[in-house]
Amino acid sequence: MAKRALITGITGQDGGHLAELLHKKDYKVYGIIRGQHNPKRIVVEQEQPYVNLIEADLTDGSSLVRAIETAQPEELYNLAAVSHVGYSFKNPQLTAEVTGKGVLNVLEAIRLSGGEKTIRFYQASTSEMFGGLDYNRPGKGYDEDALFHPRSPYGVAKLYGHWITKNYRESYGIHASCGILFNHEGPRRGLEFVTRKISNSVARIHLGKQDHIELGNLDSKRDWGYAGDYVDGMWRMLQQDEPGDYILATGETHSIGDFLELAFKEVGIDDWKPYVKQNPAFMRPAEVDILLGNPAKAESVLGWKRQVDFPGLVKMMVQYDLGIETKRST
């Protein structure tokens, strides 16, 4: 019998990669889609026709109970969230409802449908919970025991999701694991995130469709990996006999300038500075200056290892955007 998995956030970057991975592993894949008219429905239906879509919303607990009753999953991956840090400052209450309380709604739906002992649960926790301030492990990066100090409404909401997941594990014995994932990117990344904004703009500049990029803070550094590698780590967490919390990261940190440099070099431009303008509109009220993760536990316990390195990631994204922008007329 094929295993059954339910994914919230199926229309997002990680949802797409995870659905693909589980389908290759012969799972029957269900995905939650929200909204009356979600334009992304047609994209999933065309590109991933094996996904069984169920209408539900993280803020509507009864819809989640019905989704679980329909999918009857052995594994439930909670990837849905208001996930853009800048947007979370502008919509903090929505962020708390979806990214924070939404996790409780999913866990309660598991209990209400009697799935405490039968459903394994994955929560998409994040390096944004650390906040970059207690960066006190030079050369090693944050591990699972590092202190949390979120710096955005998104990070604060995620910290609630993280702790309520641990609480339901301890209180009700749910096989619930949290993946504390550092930034992961790729061609499926939304255009509102800095890496994809850069790769797409570089392609458009190369093709003469755009003459510069407007960015906010250029000084921050991130531990950037490839999303396709990270969904494999999520799956591995749910295959363990015991639930737990794991960092997935590359163990390297790079600046936005490093990303710009490699992206522009990919189209033959050695000096990116004339093409980049700073726009305060993209600055945040509080910033996470530097993130670096230590994936040692995931590597030793899960046997997980990232496959794509930083130059490979930048190249993959720019080449993808060159392909789609060449086909697009505007």
Neighbouring C-beta atoms of residue 118, cutoff 10 Å: 13
Q: Give 20's contacts (C-beta < 8 A, 6+ positions apart).
A: 48
Question: Judged by CB under 6 A, how many residues of this single chain contact ligand NAP?
Answer: 28
Residue 99 is classified by DSSP as I
Which residue do the tokens 């999520």 mark?
Answer: 234
Strands 221-222 and 254-255: antiparallel
E strand or H helix that includes residue 8 = strand 4-8
Q: Residue 79 — left, alpha, or beta (φ > 0 → left; ψ -120 to 50 → alpha)?
A: alpha
12 binds, among ligand F7E, ligand NAP, none (CB under 5 to 8 A by kind): ligand NAP
Question: What residues are annotated to the active site?
Answer: 126, 128, 154
14 binds ligand NAP (CB under 6 A): yes
Measured from the CB atom, the residue of 120 and 221 that comes closer to ligand F7E is 221
d(CA 157, CA 150): 9
Residue 217 interacts, among ligand F7E, ligand NAP, none and using kind-specific CB cut-offs from 5 to 8 Å, with ligand F7E
Among 29, 109, 124, 157, binds ligand NAP (CB under 6 A): 124
Closest to ligand NAP by CB, 73 or 205: 73
Residue 257 contacts ligand F7E per CB under 6 A? no
Write down the least CB distance from residue 156 to ligand NAP, Å: 13
Using alpha carbons only, how large is the chain's radius of gyration in Å? Answer: 20
Q: Measure the CA dihedral 180/160/20/266, to 10°.
A: -50
Closest CB 26 distance from ligand F7E, rounded Å: 29
Contact footprint for ligand F7E (CB under 6 A): 83, 85-86, 126-128, 182-183, 192-195, 197, 215-217, 220, 222, 256, 282, 284, 287
Contact footprint for ligand NAP (CB under 6 A): 8-15, 32, 34-35, 38, 40, 57-59, 79-83, 98, 124, 126, 181, 183-184, 190
